């Protein structure tokens, strides 16, 4: 699977594991018992709404009796996409060979926030829009992670997502969307929101179609 569980073990930050439910668990087998004093989790290159929000880390030596050695509650924040957080484990001196990560909740997605107070027609058109957007990706045979460029701020990413959303707009499935004018980057003094890939790149492409096609 392109986003399957094996991606957790491949050492590539460009790949990802995607759980299709709001909770999921995975067991790591270290073969030989080890003391775990810290661990790292890396955010994906796409939607922040897919980041884990809460989890429990348990440990065992027989796969039957488990001991909770770390618990994270509330919003776990990442500084950006493909950002790695390190979590320290306090007061654990025991050696274990099995470690079970139970991700109990992901963050509410942007779509959930956007549709919370919308009328039924807006919800319907947004669902249609998601369908057409993903269908275009199937036609494109993309996205693919190429040299880690598939993230906001890169033209490769912006164009692929912009074209996919352009089909949505041309079919008028964007009733709750509007252009994002962005902000100036303090370091570069450049507003690169046109490379965001979704609600800005797409409106720019739509303007081109309206005026020059």
Domain positions in the chain are 5-106, 110-212
143-158: pLDDT as tens digits: 665 555 666 566 777 7
Residues whose CB falls within 8 Å of the CB of residue 163, separated by 6 or more in sequence, listed in order = 136, 140, 205
70-96: pLDDT as tens digits: 999 877 888 877 889 999 998 889 999
DSSP state of 9: G
Is CATH 2.60.120.260 what the domain over 5-106 is classified as, yes or no?
Answer: yes
34-48, 181-195, 197-211: which range is least confident on average? Answer: 181-195
Taking Cα atoms as reference points, which of 175, 193, 176, 173 lies closest to residue 184?
193
Model-level pTM greater than 0.75? no
Q: How far is CA 68 from CA 22, 48, 94, 139, 177, in A?
A: 21, 27, 12, 45, 43
Q: Is the dihedral of CA 106, 107, 108, 110 positive or negative?
A: negative
- Coil/strand/helix, residue 158: helix
């Amino acid at each position: 699977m392109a986003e399957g569980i094996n991606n957790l073990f491949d050492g590539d930050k460009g790949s990802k594991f995607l759980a299709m439910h709001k909770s999921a668990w995975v067991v790591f087998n270290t073969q030989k018992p080890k003391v775990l004093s810290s661990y790292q989790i890396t955010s994906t290159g796409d939607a922040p709404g897919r980041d884990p929000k809460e989890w429990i880390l348990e440990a065992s030596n027989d796969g039957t009796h488990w001991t909770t050695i770390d618990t994270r509650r509330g919003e776990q924040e990442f500084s950006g996409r493909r950002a790695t957080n390190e979590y320290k484990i306090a007061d654990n001196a025991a050696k274990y060979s099995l470690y079970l990560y139970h991700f109990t909740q992901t963050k509410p997605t942007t779509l959930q926030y956007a549709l919370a107070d919308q009328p039924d027609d807006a919800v319907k058109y947004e669902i249609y829009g998601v369908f057409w957007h993903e269908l275009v990706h199937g036609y494109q045979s993309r996205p693919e992670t190429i040299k880690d460029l598939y993230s906001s701020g890169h033209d490769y990413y912006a164009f692929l997502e912009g074209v996919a959303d352009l089909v949505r707009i041309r079919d008028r499935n964007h009733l709750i969307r509007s252009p994002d004018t962005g902000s100036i980057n303090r370091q570069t003094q450049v507003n690169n929101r046109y490379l965001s890939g979704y609600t800005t790149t797409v409106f720019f492409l739509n303007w081109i179609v309206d005026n020059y096609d």
